[in-house]
Amino acid sequence: MKIIDRLKEDRIHISFEVFPPKTDEGIDKVLGATAEIAKLNPAFISVTYGAGGGTSRNTAKIASYIKDDLNVLSLAHLTCASSTKEEVREVIENLKSLGIENILALRGDIPANMAFPSGNRFRYACELVEEIRKHGDFCIGAACYPEGHVENEHKEDDIKYLKQKVDSGVDFLTTQMFFENDIHYNFLYRIREAGITVPVLPGIMPITSAAQMKRSQELSGTVFPRRFLSILDRFGSSPEAMRQAGIAYATDQIIDLLANGVKNIHIYSMNKPDVAAAIMNNLSEIIKC
């Protein structure tokens, strides 16, 4: 089944994300965590992609396990900046042979000390989307940035490039994490005005430790609102208190989104089935409405 068909259903959909281990030795632990998350009956589970080696190979392995063994829709991430065009095509064909119908097309981070762009690599995500379309009838997702992409100085340019990417053949979008819902609502207004009509899944990241917040800020440049910083100041030194506060904050974001008509939400669960389960428990009656 394609994710876009599920998203069109008139009901609430909550999905989760997992990431492969850095080495093959950690695969069993990740599969175990993924199996626990699958018990929460998610709309789908996405699997992130790393730069080469076991990480990228294991993306396909985990996505196939989700689909075939756990009977849950899977979404395989695919990045292109760190791979040659031929390597990207091999990955697409492998996903196709495994019966994986859903791909999240991303440029990805540019590896350090690598000449980019180069003639044998895709430069933009829209080029990757076009390439995936050539290889089969995939459902293609892509990323979007409510606070603007860090490489674009002006938000108008960001939306222009997003429109180009969607027009290349994107079926749905997933946002980068954000921590203030008004940012998402304003973003939705601006992209709809620009003619981008595909479904947009807000990406929610439960921040359960001070170290996780620091990493998130370094990777995405996202802005943390004052009320979240107050939580961190008060509870950041107590791991259990910060975990509980972070889950509550993410739950509050999700409830507000649902109350305002958003039906599809993606949670960056970071291979933490206990955090995913706590959020779903908080939403147990709400998602029935």
φ, ψ at 284 (rounded to 5°): -55, -40
pLDDT above 80 for 200: yes
- Of 92-106, 169-183, 186-200, 209-223, the range with the lowest mean pLDDT is 209-223
φ, ψ at 35 (rounded to 5°): -65, -40
Rounded percentage of the chain residues whose pLDDT exceeds 70: 93
List of residues 6+ apart from 210 with CB closer than 8 A: 232, 236, 237, 242
Instruction: Return the structure tokens found at 122.
Output: 């895709």
Longest dimension (CA), the chain: 53
Task: Point out the residues that are catalytic.
Answer: 17
Q: Is 25 exposed, middle or buried (0-12, 13-18, 19+ CB in 10 A)?
A: exposed
What is the predicted pLDDT for the residue at 150? 57
State the virtual CA torsion across 121, 125, 127, 133 in degrees, nearest 10. Answer: 120
Q: How far apart are CA 33 and CA 272, in angstroms?
A: 7
pLDDT category, 51, cuts 50, 70, 90? low
What is the predicted pLDDT for the residue at 57? 85
- The 10s digit of each residue's pLDDT in 67-80 is 999 999 999 999 98
What is the predicted pLDDT for the residue at 247? 97
pLDDT above 80 for 221: no
Instruction: Return the structure tokens found at 50.
Output: 């790393």
CA angle 127, 86, 56 (to 5 degrees): 90
Evaluate the omega torsion of the peptide bond into residue 225 and state whether it is cis, within 30 degrees of 0.
Answer: no
Is the CB of residue 91 less than 8 Å from the CB of residue 131?
no
CATH class of 3-288: alpha beta
What is the predicted pLDDT for the residue at 109? 76
Q: At what angle do helices 239-259 and 181-193 cross, to 10 degrees?
A: 40
